């Protein structure tokens, strides 16, 4: 059930959260499937609804630093610097947790991932529920993250969804753990370059390390309803052959590259890196008729680095 986010609808969603019922809400990144972070039963319902592996911890959403008190064991200086610069916003910090955070939220880890969403509806909902809200992206496990309320309704018919329109970023938050050195565990809506301007020592975790520290990175993600083949930059000729061999193949394409494929009517991702990041999950959920999806590598800089991470994880095959 999609509801416009009126004050009455937000009160209704907050009451559902307090009763232990999951509800979906918009954030600036993607839609979240929320439950009270202090209610292990409600959190288990979120895992069950998503079909999420139970070793994959959730992000806890709060309205600001005061609500964090009691959930984390202090803020190291590096965390404070990042929070001051990027909250509210698409940055998730992994910090040592207190006993107040149930193990169901953190999948038994000693740390908890937290963020302050930059979205008036998300903030109003958490405020009205007066509890921190644990929320993964509101998709069935393994599917692309939902950037619109309608995507949530496809994956969870009947669920209460506050409809805030299209998500502003369309790509999930960047996840940073504050060990020594601080590490990016998941690339996301804040590019590494911007984080390094505040924390020069920040490194990007290798895949092996990210998988070890952030269980979500182990699982298959973002799978479209049909196969996706990703072509490396050096394989332009192979991409042309694949397109020529299959007239029904749908090409995901940055606007600037569309003229390279005359007569193909590609699925347009957008022009600027922000538009491409915004268009990616929508494109992966395209309802256009066709056979396979074909995509090609984009330069790994700024936001496009996170876009490439998602394309690689969504791909059935990399050529
Ligand atoms: O933008 C976002 O982050 C969205 C919106 C709804 O806030 N949420 C989101 O949640 O993408 P989810 O559950 O789809 O992804 C959470 C990621 C996973 O990769 C998970 O493994 C990691 O955060 N994570 C959560 N808690 C962690 C922890 N304690 N240590 C390391 N990684 C953690
Ligand atoms: Mg997710």
Whose atoms come closest to the Cα of 116: which ligand? 1
129-181 residue pLDDT tens: 999 999 999 999 999 999 999 999 999 999 999 999 999 999 999 999 998 89
Which atom of ligand 1 is nearest to 58's Cα?
25
Residue 145: its H or E element: none
Give the closest residue (by CA) to ligand 1 atom 19. 216
Amino acid 27: pLDDT: 98
pLDDT tens per residue, range 286-307: 999 999 999 999 999 999 999 9
Q: For ligand 1, what atom is nearest to the CA of residue 213?
A: 31
Q: For residues 6-32, give the mean pLDDT.
A: 98
pLDDT computed for residue 223 by the predictor: 82
Total residue count of the chain as it appears in this document: 319
**Distance (Å) from CA 58 to ligand 2 centroid:** 9
φ, ψ for residue 34, nearest 5 deg? -95, 150
Whole-number pLDDT of residue 208: 84
% of the chain surpassing 70 pLDDT? 100
67 lines ligand 1 (CB under 6 A): no
Q: Is the pLDDT of residue 123 over 90?
A: yes
Q: Is the pLDDT of residue 189 over 80?
A: yes
Residue 237 Cα to ligand 1 midpoint, Å, equals 37
pLDDT value at 218 more than 80: no
The average confidence (pLDDT) of the chain is 96
Q: 1: pLDDT confidence band, cut at 50, 70 and 90?
A: very high
Query: By alpha-carbon position, which residue is closest to atom 29 of ligand 1?
Result: 112
Does residue 219 register a pLDDT over 80? no
The pLDDT score that the predictor gives to residue 110 is 97
Q: Is the pLDDT of residue 224 over 90?
A: no
Say what angle helices 7-18 and 120-129 make with each other, to 10 degrees: 50
Q: What is the mean pLDDT of residues 203-226?
A: 83
Q: What is the mean pLDDT of residues 14-29?
A: 98
Nearest alpha carbon, ligand 1 atom 12: 136
Q: Is the pLDDT of residue 238 over 80?
A: yes
How confident is the model at residue 190, as a pLDDT?
98
Average pLDDT over residues 191-216: 91
Please work out whether the CB of residue 113 comes within 6 Å of at least one atom of ligand 1: yes
Residue 212 has pLDDT above 90, yes or no: no
Q: Looking at residue 209, what is its pLDDT? A: 83
Mutation test residue for ligand 1: of 22, 109, 113, the one with most atoms within 8 Å of CB: 113
**Considering only CA atoms, which of 252, 307, 253 is closest in space to residue 278?**
307
pTM reported for the whole predicted model: 0.96
Give dist(CA 37, CA 29) in Å, integer: 20
Residue 6 pLDDT greater than 90, yes or no: yes
- R_g (Cα) of the chain, nearest Å: 19
Q: Annotate 243-311 with DSSP letters as a single string.
A: HHH-TTPEEEEEGGGGGGSTT---EEEESSHHHHHHHHHHHHT-----S-EEEE----SHHHHHHHHHH
Nearest atom in ligand 1 to the alpha carbon of residue 138 is 6
CB of residue 147 inside a 6 A radius of ligand 1: no
Measured between alpha carbons, how far is 47 from 149 in angstroms, rounded to an integer? 19
What local confidence, expressed as pLDDT, does residue 79 receive?
97
Residue 105 has pLDDT above 90, yes or no: yes
Residue 139: nearest ligand to its CA? 2
pLDDT band at 38 (very low <50, low <70, confident <90, very high): very high
Q: 225 CA to middle of ligand 1, Å?
A: 23
| Pocket of ligand 1 contains residue 94 by CB under 6 Å | yes
Which one-letter DSSP state was computed for residue 115?
A: E
How far is the CA of 264 from the CAs of 225, 256, 261, in angstroms? 21, 14, 6
Which band of pLDDT confidence, cut at 50, 70 and 90, is reported for residue 11?
A: very high
Q: Atom 15 (ligand 1): residue with closest C-alpha? A: 136
Say which residue, 216 or 81, is predicted with more confidence.
81
Q: Which ligand is nearest to the CA of 184?
A: 1
Across 102-115, average pLDDT: 97
Mean of the pLDDT values across residues 227-254? 96
Long-range Cβ contacts of 72-81 (<8 Å, 24+ apart): 72/96, 72/97, 72/98, 72/112, 72/114, 73/97, 73/98, 76/178, 78/178, 78/182, 78/199, 79/178, 81/198, 81/199
């Amino acid at each position: 059930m999609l509801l416009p986010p009126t004050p009455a609808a937000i009160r209704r969603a907050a009451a559902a959260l307090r009763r232990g019922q999951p509800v979906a809400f918009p954030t600036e990144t993607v839609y979240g499937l929320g439950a009270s972070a202090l209610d292990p039963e409600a959190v288990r319902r979120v895992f069950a609804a998503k079909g999420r592996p139970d070793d994959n911890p959730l992000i806890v959403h709060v309205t600001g630093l005061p609500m964090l008190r009691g959930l984390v064991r202090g803020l190291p200086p590096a965390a404070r610097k990042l929070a001051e610069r990027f909250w509210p916003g698409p940055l998730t910090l992994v910090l040592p947790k207190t006993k107040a955070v149930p193990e169901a939220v953190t999948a038994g880890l000693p740390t908890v991932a937290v963020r302050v969403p930059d979205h008036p509806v998300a903030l109003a909902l958490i405020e009205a529920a007066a509890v921190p809200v644990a929320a993964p992206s509101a998709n069935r496990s393994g599917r692309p993250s939902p950037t619109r309320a309608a995507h949530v309704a496809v994956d969870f018919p009947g669920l209460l969804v506050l409809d805030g329109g299209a998500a502003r970023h369309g790509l999930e938050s960047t996840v940073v753990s504050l060990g020594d050195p601080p590490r990016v565990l998941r690339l996301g809506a804040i590019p590494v370059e911007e984080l390094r301007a505040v924390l020069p020592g920040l490194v990007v975790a290798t895949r092996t390390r990210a998988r070890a520290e952030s269980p979500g990175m182990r699982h298959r993600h973002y799978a479209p309803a049909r196969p996706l083949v990703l072509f490396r930059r050096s394989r332009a000729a192979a991409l042309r052959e694949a397109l020529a061999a299959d007239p029904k193949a749908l090409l995901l394409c940055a606007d600037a590259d569309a003229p390279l494929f005359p007569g193909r009517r590609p699925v347009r991702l957008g022009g600027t890196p922000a538009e491409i990041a915004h268009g990616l999950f929508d494109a992966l959920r395209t309802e256009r008729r066709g056979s396979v999806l074909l995509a090609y590598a984009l330069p790994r800089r700024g936001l496009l680095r996170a876009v490439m991470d998602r394309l690689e994880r969504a791909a059935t095959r990399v050529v």
